[in-house]
Structure 1
Amino acid sequence: MEGVRGRRRLASVLLGVAGLAAILVLWWLGVAALARHNPLAAQFGPIAAVQTLPALVTEDRLLTHIGASLRRIGVGLAFALAIGAPLGFLIGRVRTLETALSPALQFLRMISPLSWMPIAVMSLGVGDPPVYFLLAFAAVWPIVMATASGVQQIDARWVQLGESLAATRAEMLWHIYVPGIAANVLTGVRVAIGVLWIVLVPAEMLGVSSGLGYLILDTRDRLAYSELMAVVLVIGALGFLLDAAARRLYRWFGMQ
């Protein structure tokens, strides 16, 4: 049985690698076709991007920019969890509150976080605070909805059992509700991470002096297009690793 699972995992990994390789080949062929008419297009190719990565690390402090972006992701996600999980819990528990807040929350959820850029800058100034606000605003909605859904899906028999044992509110929360909604919250966190990573790059164009979004602007202004594409590769790779970590955490929790 373990041998079959091992072969399936290996086949899955190989298929994934083949898919990535196909994308790289298509990228290289597309750039090569464009370079016949415009030599500048060659700078946007995968080979040029990979070749310039060492210079990005040593000269442009790539690791510093990665650290700044990951810090902002962590702070934005922490704010979103601190707001979204309790709000989602209340919405899932109190039907009247759900009825009252659902229209407003759906309205706010449909507004692009980037639409708040001018207001965020005007209210919070430039630097990290408006970036944190935009990231938290983008990430809070998946967490709210996933948490509310998890609360509503908890088996009523577990709640009745806790009540019949005269469990306190704190005991009900930590022994019934938290284990019951944890998987849903982690699903919301995984979705939120994907949204955060998309919003991060334009959000880091709000007057900050570090981060991958800032580095995109810097390489564009210097006409260093091969470096720009290298940063794009780094953004994709880091986003993939963050999502993989979220999936692993979800699977680990599901095995507990």
Structure 2
Amino acid sequence: MTAQIRQKSIVNSLILLVRKIPISLWGIIISAFIWWIFTSALWHSSQILNQFSPEETLSSLTKLIISGNIFPHIIDSLRRVFVGLILATIIGIPLGILIGVSKLLDQATSVLFQFLRMISPLSWMPIAVMIFGIGDFPVYFLLTVAAIWPLMLNASAGVASIDKRWLLLSRSLCANRWETLTKIIFPAILSHLFTGLRLAIGIIWIVLVPAEMLGVRAGLGYYILDTRDRLAYSELLAVILIIGAIGYILDLGFRYADQYWRHEK
């Protein structure tokens, strides 16, 4: 009788523990289990496939972090990402505001910008190399081209969504263009800009890896090529996990910034 009570207590404790696990964490657990099923050495004898197993990948990931070899590549990649994002912000947001304010400019550039927006940023790689040579500058160019469009379109959409009565009020109060921009337009479209930044950072992070294969000597994209050439497939998959984790953290940061702005607003 005592044994049955203990078993029921253990079962109830396990059920409570399972219920406390967030649904999002369950998704990760199930995905990791599927990953283990298809790659574990318990189910096959392929040495190459075994290198993609969770055990080998986590072992390589631990070595990369403890040795610190991956951190210079992460720093170089993040530097390129933020330079590209800053350049795209400097170009895309003012241009989007101008398009949102001026119907004439919107009509004049609509077809052109929609055409350019649909061209893959990676298709500019040969031209970027011809103009800027090998190194960081073609990477900056590709990342900037990739990030301009979501910033520009969201800024334009934000301006178009502003209540026209606020603009009429600014005119009636004799506000100049700078005051109208800083006191009415920019605060009103800030939420749209955060959305554009989230989209831009996602696109930049995707374009970064192939862009860093343009002859640079450091970065996560370069490290992917290096591990492939060394046939270090578990290390390659570990770098892929690092890329996904950093991208998630970047998106999370912009998401929280957007939520904070909405709350303060």
TM range (shorter): over 0.9
Cα pair distance change 1:174/1:21, threshold 3 Å: same
Is 1:227–2:235 an aligned residue pair? yes
Mapping 1:1-256, distance limit 5 Å: 14-32=22-40, 36-57=44-65, 59=67, 61-256=69-264
Q: CA RMSD in A?
A: 1.7
Q: Which has the larger radius of gyration?
A: 2
Partners of 1:35 and 1:42 within 8 A in 2: no
Shift of 1:157: 1.0
Identify the residue that residue 10 of structure 2 maps to in structure 1.
none
Return the alpha-carbon distance in structure 2 between the equivalents of residues 63 and 193 of structure 1: 20
Partners of 1:138 and 1:192 within 8 A in 2: yes
Partners of 2:57 and 2:234 within 8 A in 1: yes
Return the alpha-carbon distance in structure 1 between the equivalents of residues 238 and 87 of structure 2: 30
* DSSP 3-state at the match of 1:239: helix
Return the alpha-carbon distance in structure 2 between the equivalents of residues 12 and 83 of structure 1: 47
Quick one: which amino acid aligns to residue 62 of structure 1? I
Shift of 1:205: 0.4
Return the alpha-carbon distance in structure 1 between the equivalents of residues 72 and 28 of structure 2: 27
Cα pair distance change 1:180/1:208, threshold 3 Å: same
Cα pair distance change 1:34/1:167, threshold 3 Å: farther
Deviation readout 1:114-157 (Å, 9 max, x if unpaired): 00111101110011000000000000000010000000000111
Return the alpha-carbon distance in structure 2 between the equivalents of residues 134 and 193 of structure 1: 13
* DSSP 3-state at the match of 1:44: coil
Shift of 1:86: 0.6
Shift of 1:59: 4.8
Deviation readout 1:11-35 (Å, 9 max, x if unpaired): 9981111111211111111213896
Return the alpha-carbon distance in structure 1 between the equivalents of residues 185 and 244 of structure 2: 36
Report sequence identity in percent: 50
Partners of 1:35 and 1:41 within 8 A in 2: no
Partners of 2:37 and 2:43 within 8 A in 1: no
Identify the residue that residue 6 of structure 1 maps to in structure 2.
none
In structure 1, stretches of 5+ residues that fail to align are 1-10
Return the alpha-carbon distance in structure 1 between the equivalents of residues 136 and 29 of structure 2: 37
Return the alpha-carbon distance in structure 2 between the equivalents of residues 223 and 177 of structure 1: 53
Of 37-46 and 136-145, more deviation after overlay is shown by 37-46
Quick one: which amino acid aligns to residue 84 of structure 2? G
Deviation readout 1:134-184 (Å, 9 max, x if unpaired): 000000000010000000000111111111111111111110001011110
Shift of 1:54: 3.1
Quick one: which amino acid aligns to residue 88 of structure 1? G
Cα pair distance change 1:230/1:250, threshold 3 Å: same
Deviation readout 1:217-254 (Å, 9 max, x if unpaired): 01111111110010000001101101100100100111
Task: Give TM-score scaled by structure 1 length.
Answer: 0.92
Return the alpha-carbon distance in structure 2 between the equivalents of residues 42 and 250 of structure 1: 42
